[in-house]
Amino acid sequence: MVQPALFVAHGSPTLAIEENDYTKFLRRLGQEMLDRPRAAVIFSAHWESPVQLVSADDRHQTMHDYYGFPEEMYRIRYPAAGDPLLADEIISRFKAGNLPSRTVEGRGLDHGAWVVLRAMFPEGDIPVVELSVDAKRSPAEQYAIGKMLGELRSDNVLIIGSGGLVHNLRRIAGEGTDPAAWAVLFDDWIGEQLVSWNLRSLFEYDKKAPHAKEAVPTYATEHFAPLLYAMGAADSDRQAVKLFQDYQYGSLSLNCWMFGNRPDR
């Protein structure tokens, strides 16, 4: 079975306790739109490293890597299993691509990973391997790293990039605020490049996209990077479908893109 690759925005950590159109969509995505994967490999914006890191735990702890949120946010557990054998296979593929990498044990799943996975697979019964991102790499390099894992999709492995296309916490507004025009223009421009698989423009989004500096400030490039990792994993297909787009707090975008396989349900 061939799985798609996905880019999934993880929004605010409070998505873990909210009931809204996006959380409903994520549940439907995991339960109705996707065939059941044997494992999920997720690149998270909240794990940065210049060396490619790969989780190799038998069972993941749940990281509460945020502060100032409701107490119930700190009681949530998502003890998904890991997949050390898959982690080793991923390392082998990175070595074949001359990418410095190593496995890590005992870290746990950060909220960029578990908030998304818990919404999609609430039973926690899909083994998970989490991967770091390197926001200092070029978009072309990030894409190439994802491409190294593309063949895993044919082995029923779901590859996910978890981040946010518009992620400027200094520009967010009050809850319920209408989407900011500049944020929508940026998202729509990115969407045009994805649908046409225009890598030349996409790799220069910081210079070509409208409002790029507002949408992806220098302190938040790690949230945009997972898009390129996920997209690279579908290089052999080069198909992109937007499944969802909305906004929290006026400009924090909630996007989900599917690469490689078109939903048929």
**pLDDT value, residue 264:** 53
User: What domains are there in the chain, each with its CATH number?
Assistant: 5-166+220-240+255-259 (3.40.830.10)
Contact 97/148 with Cβ under 8 angstroms? yes
**46-87: per-residue pLDDT in tens?**
999 999 999 999 999 999 999 999 999 999 999 999 999 999
pLDDT of residue 173: 83
Per-residue pLDDT, 256: 98
- The pLDDT tens digits for 93-117 are 999 999 999 999 999 999 999 999 9
Contacts of 139 (CB under 8 A, 6+ apart): 202, 203, 204, 205, 225, 228
pTM of the full predicted structure? 0.96
With H, G, I as helix, E, B as strand and everything else as coil, classify residue 247.
Answer: strand
| pLDDT score recorded for residue 170 | 85
Question: Rounded CA gap, 64 and 66, in Å?
Answer: 6
In 5-110, which residue ranges form alpha helices assigned H by DSSP?
A: 21-28, 84-96
**Residue 176, pLDDT score:** 76
Low-confidence ranges of the chain (pLDDT < 50): 265
Q: What CA–CA distances, in Å, run from 99 to 8, 84, 87, 135, 158?
A: 25, 19, 15, 15, 21
SS (H, E, C) 121-142: CCCCCCCEEEEEECCCCCHHHH
Q: Which of 146, 132, 125 is nearest to 103 (CA)?
A: 132
The pLDDT value recorded for residue 5 is: 98
> What whole-number distance in Å separates Cα of residue 114 and Cα of residue 230?
17
Say what the pLDDT of residue 263 is. Answer: 53
Q: What integer pLDDT is reported at residue 190 of this predicted model?
A: 98
